[in-house]
Amino acid sequence: MVHFLYFLCFFSFLTLTCKAQGKIITLHLKKETRTLKEQPLFNEIIPQKEQIFFVKGIPHKLLGKYTFSRYLIFETDEHKLKIPTLIGRDTLNNPVFILDRNLNFDFSDDSIRYYSDSIKKSIKDFIIEDSIIIRQSGPTLSLNIKYVFIKPSFVGVDYKDEHENSFFLMVGSNNIYSTLFTVNNKITRIIIVPQKPLNYTKESLKLYISYDTSSNFKIDNSQALIAHNIGDTLLIAGKAFRFKSFSLSNSLLELDELWENANLTNAYPGFYPYDIAMNDINNDFFNLNDFRGNYVLLDFWGTWCEPCKKITPKLIELYNEFKDQGLIVVSIALDKNIMDAKKYIKKTGIKWINIFQSFKDKYSIQSKYRIVEYPTFILINNSGKIIMRETGSDGFEVIRNQIKHIGS
């Protein structure tokens, strides 16, 4: 009998595990050669005058017409690249630029780029796409870059050379990977974007789900696409997956297919919220799970945030109106020190639950919930699931209108 009970428990565990997780989906992503934005953002990279270097393979037709050029210093968290460049004019006085793409200090195997030095053209006409090949221990990296030659007056750099002073070089980069993925007969696009060049750490990789399947897809603020981290749960065409991993060496994405989404957590509508279990500002223990059965409004704010403080009177009014109908308000302050938050709470007469998080805490609740705009409001229904996520004063009005339907 005891053995039977052990077997029954083990079988139940296997059944629950299988219901929670299905097979692993492996997708091969294509590396795109363009930006996701119509107007790419550029880092300003100024050639360093003090770092003269020597290379070989300078084209003969540039002799006497070239500027013995500088390193471009391209820094990331894990790499510091010195990229040799050559700036000059050919025998017909056309401006030329050579980028040592494979970083071998030899220009003979690199193509010559001709660019326009006309100030009458738009910035789009100056943008050049290229790539840099980086050989290191492990996989060879190919960094997609875009650069533009302009000489804006506000730069204020003087190289004492007519060629270098005719332009200003700005570089923008990001390797972008994407593929089409069909779920429940609906085609979606999965996009992987490292937030920093050459940084493929867990923290840098972001996954986006887009229903724009055209070849000219883009990511911009108007689309309000959600950036998912490794480990996040995703809803794609009504089906649940977990972002498991992405491999740089072979551009392979792994997704765990989840058969049930009953307890999937995330920071966005359609999911259960990440757990919050800690002492509040009065040193009383708070656990978000204890309030299952109530509507809970998470309010992310700070004393430095003027729009947040302007909404305080409206938030107090909302709380007083609906607290007897089961509304729980939890304000999570991001501040330099706890005393600033305490003084403001006492001054305004706030009576609900308050939690303090320091700017210095890299694993704060704000970080877990991907809060990048203040104020942000997250509304959780009485079943414990996130139903709304809004920002700003307009977002608060949307949330307030939704709360007014509680119990109606």
* Assessment of whether the complete model's pTM goes beyond 0.75: no
The predicted-structure confidence for 48-70, as pLDDT tens digits, reads as follows 444 455 667 766 555 555 544 55
Q: Is residue 125 part of a domain?
A: yes
DSSP 8-state symbol, 302: -
Spatial distance between the Cα atoms of 394 and 345, rounded to a whole number of angstroms: 23
The predicted-structure confidence for 312-347, as pLDDT tens digits, reads as follows 999 999 999 999 999 999 999 999 899 999 999 999
Question: How many domains in the chain?
Answer: 3
**Which is nearest to 354 in space by CA: 324, 316, 321?**
316
183 and 165 fall within a common domain: no
Q: Is residue 129 part of a domain?
A: yes
The predicted-structure confidence for 215-269, as pLDDT tens digits, reads as follows 777 665 445 678 888 888 888 888 889 999 988 768 899 999 987 655 788 898 8
CATH number at 343 reads 3.40.30.10
Q: Is residue 2 part of a domain?
A: no
**Once rounded to an integer, what is the mean pLDDT over residues 102-130?**
65
- pLDDT band at residue 143 using 50, 70 and 90 as cut-offs: low
Residue 239 tokens read as 């089906």
The single-letter code of the amino acid at 218 is K
253 and 283 fall within a common domain: no
pLDDT at 75: 55
309 and 344 fall within a common domain: yes
pLDDT higher at 42 or 160: 160
Spatial distance between the Cα atoms of 265 and 234, rounded to a whole number of angstroms: 9
Spatial distance between the Cα atoms of 170 and 197, rounded to a whole number of angstroms: 15
Least confident of 39-43, 141-145, 348-352: 39-43
pLDDT at 345: 96
91 and 147 fall within a common domain: yes
48 and 164 fall within a common domain: yes
* Strands across the sheet containing 295-301: 353-358, 327-335, 295-301, 376-380, 386-391
3-class DSSP state for residue 309?
helix
CB atoms inside a 10 Å sphere around CB 380: 23
Paired sense of beta strands 186-194 and 205-210, if any: antiparallel
Its domain, for residue 298, covers 277-403
**Partners of 90 in the β-ladder:** none
135 and 201 fall within a common domain: no
Residue 284 tokens read as 């009383």
62 and 25 fall within a common domain: no
